[in-house]
């Protein structure tokens, strides 16, 4: 199966078959990162621009590493060091990038819909690296790859996503992705951080963390996105940690083979205790490792790659 999309904008627009193709391709890409010389010539001559209007450690660096491991030329600009600070609009910035003929543009922006808008205006493939509270598709794909690696399937799993759901593009993309692949998703957190009507995406909601984790195969903790909060939705971080955080004590209620995930960055001692984040059930750093493989797969497939498409 050849990848039929020009852009990767959100999980909602990917079919289960396309998600499977991306995960299988990423599985094949992992081995490249384990070689002494971590580089293949596959995308030699291709140009990737990383355009980040919001801070990032994991996503930006792993897209950059992914491009380099495939021998693409990757160039990175952030809003603060670009002509955005001189008042240039996003559209003008995009037109100027387009004039340099890149093959792919990876964009993170605080406004939902920006990658979709760019996708309709430039010839280059657009990859959404996070747009406002809307979508973060490469995060959901790396999360699914990490779960599948550990559980061998996504079918029939129960995924508990806990914390600040309202502001989380990671939660929305994971609800879309996991439910499409046959998992069920339960959301838990403070009532002020769970948006009305989120059930229409296919998830169930509880306000009890204990209930959500009791039969979960995967517990994904989310940080409180203070940068997006207009007002505080809880009294203190200590109270939040006690009521909604994942502690070693609360873990006693979880299944013995549960997986603990977090997209990062962690707020240690708030949504997750250090013992749990660094403990035996945590696959948080595996998520980061798999982020490189997933992003290599996205670059490869958007560039027309078909090798290993129907493997696994």
Residue 56: both structure tokens together: 């990032």
Q: Is residue 139 a contact point for ligand CP (CB under 6 A)? A: yes
Tell me whether the omega of the peptide bond preceding residue 265 falls within 30 degrees of 0, making it cis. yes
Query: Binding residue for ligand CP (CB under 6 A) from 28, 56, 76, 150?
Result: 56
| Cα-based angle 149, 152, 155 (whole degrees, multiple of 5) | 120
Q: Judged by CB, which is closer to ligand CP: 168, or 273? A: 168
- Of residues 272 through 291, those in contact with ligand CP by CB under 6 A are none
59 binds ligand CP (CB under 6 A): yes
Residues near 177 by beta carbon (within 8 Å), at least 6 away in sequence: 11, 14, 19, 137, 140, 141, 143, 144
- What's the CA angle centered on 118, arms 115 and 120, to 5 degrees? 115
Residue 263 engages ligand CP in binding (rule: CB under 6 A)? yes
Q: With CA atoms as reference, report the closest residue to 38 among 71, 69, 74.
A: 69
Based on CB atoms, which residue is closest to ligand CP, 59 or 149?
59
Nearer to ligand CP, 42 or 149 (CB): 149
Q: Nearer Cβ to ligand CP, position 61 or 122? A: 61
Kindly state the smallest distance separating residue 287's Cβ from ligand CP, in Å: 8
Q: How far is the CB of 263 from ligand CP (least distance, A)?
A: 4
Neighbours of 196 (CB within 10 A): 9
* Region of 64-72, 233-241, 258-266, 272-280 interacting with ligand CP (CB under 6 A): 258-266
Cβ atoms of 287 and 266 within 8 Å: the answer is no
Residues that bind ligand CP (CB under 6 A): 56-60, 130, 139, 263-265
């Amino acid at each position: 199966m050849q990848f039929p999309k020009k852009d990767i904008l959100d999980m909602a627009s990917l079919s289960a078959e396309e998600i499977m193709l991306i995960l299988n391709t990423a599985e094949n890409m992992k081995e490249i990162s384990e070689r002494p010389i971590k580089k293949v010539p596959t995308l030699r001559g291709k140009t990737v621009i990383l355009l980040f209007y919001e801070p990032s450690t994991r996503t930006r660096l792993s897209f950059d590493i992914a491009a380099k491991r495939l021998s693409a030329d990757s160039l990175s600009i952030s809003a603060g060091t670009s002509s955005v600070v001189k008042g240039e609009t996003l559209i003008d910035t995009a037109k100027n990038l387009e004039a340099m003929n890149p093959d792919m543009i990876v964009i993170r922006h605080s406004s939902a819909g920006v990658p979709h808008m760019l996708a309709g205006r430039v010839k280059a493939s657009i990859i959404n690296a996070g747009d406002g509270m809307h979508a973060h598709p490469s995060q959901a794909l790396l999360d699914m790859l990490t779960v599948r690696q550990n559980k061998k399937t996504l079918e029939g799993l129960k995924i508990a996503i806990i914390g600040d759901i309202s502001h989380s593009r990671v939660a929305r993309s994971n609800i879309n992705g996991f439910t499409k692949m046959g998992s069920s998703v339960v959301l838990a957190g403070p009532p002020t951080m769970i948006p009305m009507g989120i059930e229409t995406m296919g998830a169930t909601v509880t306000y009890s963390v204990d209930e959500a984790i009791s039969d979960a195969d995967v517990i994904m903790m989310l940080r409180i996105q203070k940068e997006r909060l207009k007002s505080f939705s809880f009294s203190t971080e200590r109270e939040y940690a006690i009521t909604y955080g994942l502690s070693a004590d609360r873990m006693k209620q979880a299944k013995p083979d549960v997986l603990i995930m977090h997209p990062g960055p962690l707020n240690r001692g708030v949504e997750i205790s250090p013992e749990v984040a660094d403990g035996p059930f945590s696959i948080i750093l595996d998520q980061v490792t798999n982020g490189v493989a997933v992003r290599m797969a996205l670059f490869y497939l958007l560039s027309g790659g078909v090798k290993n498409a129907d493997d696994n």
